[in-house]
Amino acid sequence: MKKTSLVQIKADEKAKVLEILGGTNLESKLLSMGVYKGKQVVKLSHIGLKGPVVIKSGRSILALGHSVAEKIIVEKE
């Protein structure tokens, strides 16, 4: 098991959220949108080198800015 961020995994890979860095505001925002520790997500795409990351969490599709995606630490499955 390796810890990486959402930025580093490839499109179509599944991962489990381990940790959300970057303060309580971001964490609670993501939490209220359904992304929290232990949640399984699928990365759908990554636009450009420093662009946003699109993930699927439950039945929602979420677009995360590059620096948000960097702060979501996941474990690849």
Name the minimum Å distance from CB 39 to other proteins. Answer: 8
Q: Two tokens at 56?
A: 């699927």
Q: Which residue bears the tokens 């940790």?
A: 19
Does residue 14 interact with other proteins by CB under 8 A? no
Ramachandran area for residue 43 (φ above 0: left; ψ -120 to 50: alpha; else beta):
beta
Distance CA 41, CA 73 (A): 12
Q: Which of 18, 42, 63, 73 binds other proteins (CB under 8 A)?
A: 63
Q: Candidates 2-10, 13-21, 45-53 — which segment interacts with other proteins by CB under 8 A?
A: 45-53
Among 36, 42, 73, 76, binds other proteins (CB under 8 A): 36
